[in-house]
Amino acid sequence: MEKIVEMNNIHKQFPYVKAVDGARFDLYKGEIHSLIGENGAGKSTMMKILYGMYEIDDGEIILSGERVTDHKYTTHTAIERGVGMVHQEFMLVKEMTVLENIILGSEPTKKGSRNVAIDFEAAREKIKFYIENYHMAVHLEKKVTNISVGEMQRVEIIKALYRGADILILDEPTAVLTPQEADQLFEILNEMRKDGKTIVFISHKLKEVMKISDRVSVMRAGKYITTVKQSEITMEELAELMIGRKVFLNTKRTPPKEGEVVLEVKNIFVPSERELSKIRGISFNVRKGEVVGVAGVDGNGQSELGEAIAGLRRVEKGQILLGGEDITNKSALQVRRNGLVHIPEDRNDRGLNGTHTFADNMLAAEIRNHPYSRLGVVNSKKIMEEAWKRSEKFDIRPRDPSNIAGSLSGGNAQKIVVARELGAAGKRFLLAAQPTRGIDIGNIEGIRKMIDQAKVEGVAVLLISADLDEIMSLADRIIVLYEGRITGELVNEEWIDEGKLGYMMMGGGDKNE
Amino acid sequence: MDFMTIIGNVFTYSLVHDMITASVPIILACMCAVISRQVNIINIAAEGIIMFGCFFGVLVSYMTGSWVLAVLVSVGLGMLISAFMALAYLKYNVNIFVLGLCVNMIGTSGTRFLLQTIFKTSGNFVSDKIVPIPRVNFSFLDNIPVLKSLFSGYSFTEWLVIPIVIFIWFMLYKSVWGLRLRSVGLNEMAAVTSGIDVNGKKLAALVLSGACAGLAGAHLSLGYSCLFIENMSGGRGFMGMAAMQFGGANPLWAAIGCVVFGFSNSVANRLTPYGIPNQFVTMIPYVATIIVLSASVVLAMIKRRKSESALKA
């Protein structure tokens, strides 16, 4: 088989971290090649380098026998050379239509207009081929804001193919899909392989990797570990290669000791910029000492639900009670005073102030209270004392809380958020939104244990997560959200059928319907 | 004189002519704001560039007797100033707001300084050696006063503004260049991953917006009037920015916003002789700015709330 990509001895340094440290990678024409590793292993960086988004500090890239790194190698050159990439965060312009997004950067033009006026008709014709050939339904005239996540991904794939990509890199493509949508994607990828396209599949979901790949490359901490044929390895061996030790991601869930109702959501309606994320009348309770998990594909109203409870988004109708008190449309501060603690879903945007110290971040929610301040004057000594204690308790590395939060890796940054929220006194209700998103496996385990521990201490927990494994390992009860409505509710017993959960996440009703 | 007579004297058919005349400099300034807003840059330098445009328009016209050369120099100067801003902003990461502020301050004081050193005068400069931008008169309309007032007697640049606005609209929304340019403003990462040269597009947008502001300046001193006065930009750059906001950075809507300002400007001019304190009269365009902006913000908010609502089926 023909070797079409070779990356040798690649080095890439970012301000705080060496993302890629002497790694290599290669591709044969017509294969599906998985690149696996934990979060932060450098797999995305490696592929962004191949796509020309990052300049390398050292090393070489050879495409079809030609050393392209001899000259300036940019995204533009990568596209010209037939490399396409579908990013984990979709690179779509929301305010533009699907059609405009697909052609952006390689627009067909009307004859006689000197390549100035766009020929939308010709573009539609050309795109139709990909839609039909690979069975990827997309609405060309809709604005991207108004389409589902699954459709956005199809748009991204068509976008890459439209640019003539022969090598298609997919960065964690199934993270935002239901199990059924993921299967559909795999069918599309298999079709493409038959057509002679080469696919790089970045993932850490080993089940999927085993299902789809011809070969698998493993990275760990920026370094290249090995490349193996799918037929010559087992999932367990892959896991060990990826993590470097034997880990079993099964947080032992403590059985719930249910007490009185703490959070009561009564038929609420919550607005959203996105049609599918509007909450349209949902009700549920969370009791003291239990974890209720909210499952669902990203973008079905999970964020809006969390924000509405935390006082960050307007509720149009309905009521939210916390500890028997009405907190509907109260300010975030008032809701906190009623006993809410909140791990927000976007750590960098809402969770943490990257320019402040660990200590400031850890005490940010309590800085108004005695002894951390008096009459508006902050008592730095008390803050540092408490911060040291929490640093120990929540195992934050480095320990010293006078460090700046922005320098931390995902896992430790998130532990600071957890330390702020779970270290606080007087908490009754924990709202944990995507608490382990984008962090490494070691710290995922730790944070899940902390959430379970909070439950044992009698806190009511609402866990919103797109990660089904996380919901399964922590939640006592699961509610499934689809297009802003609850499509199912089930008790997390010995064995839950993942197919059934997936079906509910796609809008299929539960046994009652 | 009673109130109704004043109203009658102010709102005559010739107000339309005045309104258009008053709108044109604002529209040109507004195009400066529109183009830079499309790449997500708030460019406040229009005011300063207009001042330079005004002064060098008059200077070149006075020296050479050629209004074409004067306009070209003003436009070129506008492009040069904004290219300098782009260099500082894109390459050396200087805050664009600070840059704009500096250009505005230098615009007012620099032209005052040049006025004193070159023309040895202060306040204003009038001379019959200044050749203005010619006016287009349709002699066949001379017998019909209403049509004559509506269509005749506009300067060349006033007619030019219509194709300019339409051209900018077409380029932004129907051309390859515009699609790429707008993608830079709406989602920079999406543009980067599509292989678009983001900084190149920003530079192009800034230079073009400078050209518009330069033209606005030349028109103000040679088309709208035929002289140079200190501070003659009179906030038109900022009114243009407000109109841009009103029009959501779409050149057609923004131009309509500018006409509203032009209307209030010319009404203000006509009210001055009727004993209404001058301070109030000169306030009218700015009060109009606030009202128009507030209205557009409130309308946008109502529209957003409605589209966000989860209550409708």
Question: Quick check: A116 contacting B, CB < 8 Å?
Answer: yes
Across the range A10-26, mean pLDDT stands at: 86
Residues of B in contact with A55 (CB under 8 A): none
A507: left (phi over 0), alpha (psi -120 to 50) or beta: left
Tokens representing B167? 């051209």
For range A255-265, the mean pLDDT: 91
How far apart, in whole angstroms, are the C-alpha atoms of residue A321 and residue A261? Answer: 10
- Selecting from A101, A105, A269 the residue whose C-beta is nearest the C-beta of B311 gives A269
Count the Cβ atoms, other than its own, within 10 Å of residue B113.
Answer: 11
- Cβ-nearest to A76 among B190, B195, B311: B195
> Residue range B80-84: average pLDDT?
97
To the nearest 10°, the Cα dihedral for B210, B212, B218, B224?
-140
Closest CA in chain B for residue A160: B194
Residue of A nearest to B195 (CA): A76
- Give the pLDDT confidence score for residue A249 in this predicted structure: 55
CATH number at residue B169: 1.10.3470
- Residues near A288 by beta carbon (within 8 Å), at least 6 away in sequence: A258, A259, A260, A261, A262, A428, A458, A459, A460
Cβ atoms of A44 and A89 closer than 8 Å:
no
The answer to whether residue B77 sits within a structural domain is yes
CB contact under 8 A, B195 and A270: no
Cβ–Cβ under 8 Å, residues B212 and B21: no
Give the range of the structural domain holding residue B32, as residue numbers without chain letter.
3-308
Q: Which of B175, B186, B196 sits opposite A96 (nearest CB)?
A: B186
Q: What is the pLDDT of residues A469-502, one digit of tens each?
A: 889 889 999 999 988 999 989 898 766 777 777 7
Q: Rounded CA gap, A31 and A493, in Å?
A: 40
Q: Does A146 touch chain B (CB under 8 A)?
A: no
Contacts of B175 in chain A (CB under 8 A): 116-118
Residue A62 dihedral angles phi and psi, to the nearest 5°? -120, 115
Nearest chain A residue to B189, by CA: A91
Q: How many domains does chain B have?
A: 1
Q: What is the pLDDT of residues B198-242, one digit of tens each?
A: 999 999 999 999 999 999 999 999 999 999 999 999 889 998 998
pLDDT value at residue B64 = 95
* H or E segment to which residue A115 belongs: none
Q: A243-278 burial by CB neighbour count: b if 16+ within 10 A, else e?
A: beeeeeeebebeebeeeeebbbbbebbbbbebebbb
β-strand partners of A464: A294, A433
Mean pLDDT across the stretch A251-280? 88
Q: Which residues pair with A462 in a beta bridge?
A: A292, A431
- Of A5, A72, A68, nearest in space to A35 by CA: A5
* Axis crossing angle, helix B236-246 with helix B14-38, rounded to the nearest 10: 70
Q: Domain residues of chain A, as ranges?
A: 3-82+166-243, 261-505
Q: Is the pLDDT of residue A108 over 80?
A: yes
Q: How far apart are CA A199 and CA A220, in angstroms?
A: 21
From CA B249, how far away is CA B30, in angstroms rounded?
Answer: 9
Nearest-Cα distance to chain A for B179, in Å, is 7
Q: A85: nearest CA in chain B?
A: B193
Residue B1, pLDDT score: 62
Tell me the C-alpha to C-alpha distance, in Å, between residue A79 and each of A53, A160, A196, B188: 11, 8, 17, 17
CATH class of the structural domain A3-82+166-243: alpha beta
pLDDT > 80? residue A106: yes
Confidence of residue B6 (pLDDT cuts 50, 70, 90): confident
Same fold, A3-82+166-243 and A261-505: yes
Cβ contact B195–A101 (<8 Å): no
Residue A330 above 90 pLDDT?
yes
Q: Given an 8 Å threshold on Cβ–Cβ distance, is A75 in contact with B186?
A: no
**Running DSSP on this structure, what letter comes out for residue B224?**
I
pLDDT exceeds 50 at position A350 = yes
Whether residue A199 is predicted with pLDDT greater than 80 in this model: the reply is yes
Give the tens place of pLDDT for each residue, A351-404. 899 899 999 999 999 998 888 999 989 999 999 999 999 999 998 888 899 989
Q: Which residues of A touch B196 (CB under 8 A)?
A: 104-105
User: In whole numbers, what is the pLDDT of chain B averaged over residues?
Assistant: 91
The Cα of A259 is separated from the nearest Cα of chain B by a number of Å equal to 33
pLDDT at A468: 81
At A484, is the secondary structure helix, strand, or coil? coil
pLDDT value of position A271: 94
Tens of pLDDT, residue by residue over A410-443, are: 788 899 999 999 998 889 999 999 998 878 777 8
Residue B168 lies in a domain: yes
Average pLDDT across chain A, whole number: 89
CA-based nearest distance B115→chain A, Å:
43
Q: Nearest CA of chain B to the CA of A316: how many Å?
A: 8
Kindly report the CA angle at B153 between B148 and B158, in degrees rounded to 5?
Answer: 125
Q: Which residue, among A77, A91, A94, would best test binding to B if mutated, counting the most B CBs under 10 Å from its CB?
A: A91
pTM, two decimals, is 0.77
Question: Minimal Cα–Cα distance from A314 to chain B, Å?
Answer: 10
User: Which residue is closest to A100 within chain B, CA to CA?
Assistant: B179
Q: ipTM above 0.85?
A: no
Q: What does the block give as tokens for A355?
A: 């320019």
Whether the per-residue pLDDT at A143 is higher than 60: the answer is yes
More confident residue, B131 or A241: B131
Contacts of B182 in chain A (CB under 8 A): 93, 96
**What local confidence, expressed as pLDDT, does residue B71 receive?**
97
Q: Quick one: DSSP state of residue A263?
A: E
B313 in a domain, yes or no? no
Q: Which of A104, A155, A278 to mutate to test the interface with B (most CBs of B within 10 A)?
A: A104
The tens digit of pLDDT for each residue in B96-116 reads: 999 999 999 999 999 999 999
User: How far away is chain A from the Cα of B298, in angstroms, using its nearest Cα?
Assistant: 17
Determine, for residues B179 and A118 on separate chains, whether the beta-carbon distance falls below 8 Å: yes
Q: Is the pLDDT of residue B307 over 90?
A: no
Q: Which of A150-159, A405-414, A448-457 has the lowest mean pLDDT?
A: A405-414
Burial class (CB within 10 angstroms; exposed 0-12, middle 13-18, buried 19+) of B312: exposed
Asked if the Cβ–Cβ distance from B310 to A316 is below 8 Å, we say yes
Alpha helices in chain B (DSSP H): 3-10, 14-38, 46-64, 67-86, 96-119, 145-151, 156-174, 176-186, 188-193, 198-219, 236-246, 251-271, 278-308
Note whether B192 contacts A53, CB cutoff 8 Å.
yes
Select the more confidently predicted residue: A241 or A334: A334
Q: What is the pLDDT of residue A511?
A: 42
Interior CA angle at B281 toward B277 and B286, to 5°?
A: 140
Residue B56 has pLDDT above 80, yes or no: yes
Higher pLDDT, A437 or B22: B22
Residue of B nearest to A108 (CA): B176
d(CA A348, CA A354): 7
**pLDDT reported for residue A234:** 87
Nearest residue on chain A to B175, alpha-carbon basis: A117
Please indicate if any CB of chain B lies within 8 Å of the CB of A137. no
Q: Residue B5 above 60 pLDDT?
A: yes
DSSP assignment string, A6-58: EEEEEEEE-SS-EEEEEEEEEEETT-EEEEE--TTSSHHHHHHHHTTSS--SE
Instruction: Provide the pLDDT for residue A494.
Output: 66
Fold designation for A261-505: Rossmann fold (3.40.50)
Query: Quick one: angle between helices A410-422 and A380-393, nearest 10?
Result: 110
Beta carbons of A109 and B176 less than 8 Å apart: yes
Q: Is A169 helix (H, G, I), strand (E, B) or coil?
A: strand
In a domain, B235, yes or no: yes
Q: Round to whole Å and give the CA distance between B176 and A258.
A: 61
Top-confidence residue, A509 or B144: B144
Q: Which residue of B has its CA nearest to A77?
A: B195
A488 Cα to chain B: minimum distance (Å): 20
A317–chain B Cβ distance below 8 A for any pair: yes
B174 pLDDT above the threshold of 80: yes
A105 touches chain B (CB under 8 A): yes
Average pLDDT on A223-245 reads 85
Contact residues, chain A, for B312 at CB < 8 Å: none
Report the DSSP beta bridge partners of residue A341: A430
CA distance B307 to chain A (A): 7
User: Per-residue pLDDT for A246 more than 60?
Assistant: no
